[in-house]
Chain A
Amino acid sequence: MKNLFAFALGSLLRRGAKNLFIFVIFFLMVFVLASVFMVTHALKKEMFTTLSALPQITVQRIVAGRQTQIGVERVERIARILGVSQALPRVWGFYYFPRAGVNYSIVGLESFGQQYRADLQKAADLYVEKLAAEDVMIVGPGVKKSLAEHFYPESFLFVKPDGSLKKVRIAGVFKPQTVLESNDLILMENSLVREIFGMDESMATDIVVRVPNKEEIPTVARKIREIYPDTRVITREDLRISYQNVFDYKSGIFLALFIVAVFTFFIILYDKASGLSSEEKREIGILKALGWKIGDIMRVKFFEAAVISLTAYLLAVTTALAYVFMAQAPLLKHLFTGFSVLKPSFALSFSVDVGTLALIFFVTVPVYIAATLIPSWKAATLDADEVIR
């Protein structure tokens, strides 16, 4: 058995160029399939946790087709609608830091706590007193890093809309968390956020509404629209659907890619299944004439096919794991994260869908092995007398 295995390895090397081509195609196909499935799986999971942390209803004011500030006096009116258990104004926005060329998300504490509820509560609670006491902020690790790089290790000078500066001290850094993507986040008191963005006390960025009974969400949403015709009312369900659409569309792009890879794979399979080269046939005939059993020949063919397909599969899956979770899937991730309006950056947190990997395995490895074994078996069961003539 050991000798036959060595013979099989030798055969693979002897037909090196051809086998390398097969290996590369096999590798690429499994790599693309595995990467795309890993990214979509991780993003779907992320999307799901994000969505479940989102408010059931978000109310924005629209002027001239654009979102603008909303009066906080509306909170009270909305809270009185039947079925609404709570309505809260949120104060948040993006702050552009030109020297680093990045946008930070500045979120007011109250809004923030509501938006991400339980997930954040842990991180935020620790610092609540500090935040209330003075002009301080809690920043994500990414913010901390980029500020430090630009010589703001302890505090930062925000430029207010009127040009004046506001110094805010960094009171703490979020611990890296998986569920909550807090990398580019800055958390501070609502009043401080208003000051930095130049927002009036009576204004908020938007209003979030909690409706305990899911069934009542559409009714409540309709009522808000009736009371305030200038608002856009977004339900979590709306978001879910639009995320899903973007997602499905992006997945479609990859469908085309798969088709190319799979097509090539099937050309190889067809080539394999449609018969052996005369050289390979002759070799099988020689081996039979030299006293190899059909089983011996098939064992060698099996080893050859198994070695090439298994190594290609394993290498492709490990490469895909490294590409997706260590390198955070450059190129691929951005194709999928077009829906970053509510959540500017996504981290692909490690989660392997074993079922999908098994599925990829079963549509590639055994199929390839079978496509190799069948013609070899045909050739091996024919009379081998041809080689002796």
Chain B
Amino acid sequence: MQKEGLNMVEVKGVSKVFNAGRPNEMTALEDVSFAVGEGELVILKGPSGSGKSTLLSLIAALQKPTRGEVVVANEPVSRFSEDFAALYRRRKIGFVFQKFNLIPSLSVYENIITPLLPEKLDEEALKERAQRVMETFAIAHKANEPARNLSGGEQQRTAIARALVNDPPIILADEPTANLDADLSHAFLSYVGQMKEEGKTVIIATHDPLFFDLAITDREIALRNGKMEGA
């Protein structure tokens, strides 16, 4: 089913201007173009403020580009309506946020099933899906623990499990190791290897040198002041 050379994510001449026409106008991205093939691992690097997070949010259709378009699996996701974009995120995207963004008062299990709640799934199906990812990421023993009580490593694994619970083809991670010590950062790296083995398309935005020049990386894209370096 994996077609050779199929582009999973295409970013075509994308610019993003915040507060256009106002004194605080800010061009976060300028004419960015690249494509990511299915099952590829891409590292999006660049200093803080270079536009990495903005780019990820455009790919996730959390906001719309000022110019250009984003095409995912041949769908113009940057032109989707709110509801379509939500559906697209739910079915196609697993997001690992910087700081993980778990809901602190919910348990590990409740956090993990959150992306599935709008779907028509019964209790059984929810449990089954959660169990699978909780076991993969060794967090099942904490299923009923509120997220606020978790250690950094446990939060990380819960966040990854949540991103993968709906079995999305694309994983986006934003500074996933920014708040982790060296051991946990290495652990994350091994999870990335696991995702790639499962055939996921993975895009990681980071300025952590740990991710630079990895053997499993298919491509590195460097951003500076919203522009692609060497473009």
- A residues within 8 Å of B by Cβ? 1, 3-4, 7, 10, 14-15, 282-283, 286-296, 381, 383-385, 387-389
* Interface assignment of B183: CB less than 8 Å from any CB of chain A: no
Is there contact, CB below 8 Å, between B97 and A296? no
Closest chain A residue to B121, Cβ basis: A3
Closest chain B residue to A385, Cβ basis: B57
Bound Cα distance A10, B109 (Å): 13
Is there contact, CB below 8 Å, between B83 and A294? yes
* Interface assignment of B170: CB less than 8 Å from any CB of chain A: no
Inter-chain contacts of A15 with B (CB < 8 A): 105
Which residue, of A287, A294, A389, has the highest number of chain B Cβ atoms within 10 A? Answer: A389
Please tell me which one of the listed residues B57, B90, B106 contacts residue A290 in the complex, with CB atoms under 8 A apart.
B90
Inter-chain contacts of A381 with B (CB < 8 A): 82
* Interface assignment of B227: CB less than 8 Å from any CB of chain A: no
Least Cβ–Cβ distance between A158 and chain B, in angstroms: 73
Closest chain B residue to A291, Cβ basis: B90
Known: A295-B83, A389-B174. 11 other contacts (CB 8 A): A3-B117, A7-B117, A288-B86, A289-B101, A290-B89, A290-B115, A291-B89, A292-B117, A293-B82, A296-B117, A385-B62
Is there contact, CB below 8 Å, between A289 and B117? no
- For chain B residues 196-227, which have a beta carbon within 8 Å of chain A? none
Least Cβ–Cβ distance between B227 and chain A, in angstroms: 19
Is there contact, CB below 8 Å, between A383 and B106? no
Inter-chain contacts of B91 with A (CB < 8 A): 291
Closest chain B residue to A14, Cβ basis: B105
Is there contact, CB below 8 Å, between B98 and A287? no
Bound Cα distance A282, B103 (Å): 9
Please tell me which one of the listed residues A3, A289, A293 contacts residue B62 in the complex, with CB atoms under 8 A apart.
A289
Inter-chain contacts of B56 with A (CB < 8 A): 388
Given the known interface contacts A293-B83, A294-B83, the answer about A10 and B106 at a Cβ–Cβ threshold of 8 Å is yes
Inter-chain contacts of B119 with A (CB < 8 A): 3
Bound Cα distance A267, B98 (Å): 36
Closest chain A residue to B101, Cβ basis: A286
* Interface assignment of B23: CB less than 8 Å from any CB of chain A: no
Closest chain B residue to A15, Cβ basis: B105
Closest chain B residue to A16, Cβ basis: B105
Inter-chain contacts of B62 with A (CB < 8 A): 288-289, 383-385, 388
Inter-chain contacts of A289 with B (CB < 8 A): 60, 62, 89, 95, 97, 101
Closest chain B residue to A294, Cβ basis: B82
Is there contact, CB below 8 Å, between B63 and A385? yes
Inter-chain contacts of A295 with B (CB < 8 A): 83
Is there contact, CB below 8 Å, between B54 and A292? no
* Interface assignment of B70: CB less than 8 Å from any CB of chain A: no
Is there contact, CB below 8 Å, between B114 and A290? yes
Bound Cα distance A3, B130 (Å): 15
Inter-chain contacts of A10 with B (CB < 8 A): 106, 110
Closest chain A residue to B114, Cβ basis: A290
Inter-chain contacts of B88 with A (CB < 8 A): 291
Question: What are 13 of the A-B contact pairs (CB < 8 Å)?
Answer: A3-B121, A14-B106, A286-B103, A288-B62, A288-B86, A290-B115, A291-B86, A291-B88, A292-B115, A383-B63, A385-B62, A388-B57, A388-B95
Closest chain A residue to B119, Cβ basis: A3
* Interface assignment of B20: CB less than 8 Å from any CB of chain A: no
Is there contact, CB below 8 Å, between A290 and B95? yes
* Interface assignment of B53: CB less than 8 Å from any CB of chain A: yes
- For chain B residues 63-90, which have a beta carbon within 8 Å of chain A? 63, 82-83, 86-90
Closest chain B residue to A1, Cβ basis: B120
Inter-chain contacts of B60 with A (CB < 8 A): 289, 388
Least Cβ–Cβ distance between A51 and chain B, in angstroms: 59
Please tell me which one of the listed residues A14, A287, A388 contacts residue B114 in the complex, with CB atoms under 8 A apart.
A287
Is there contact, CB below 8 Å, between B87 and A291? yes
* Interface assignment of B162: CB less than 8 Å from any CB of chain A: yes
Given the known interface contacts A288-B86, A290-B115, the answer about A387 and B105 at a Cβ–Cβ threshold of 8 Å is no
Closest chain A residue to B146, Cβ basis: A14
Is there contact, CB below 8 Å, between A291 and B93? yes
Closest chain A residue to B104, Cβ basis: A279
Given the known interface contacts A10-B106, A282-B101, A294-B82, the answer about A389 and B87 at a Cβ–Cβ threshold of 8 Å is no
Inter-chain contacts of A383 with B (CB < 8 A): 57, 62-63
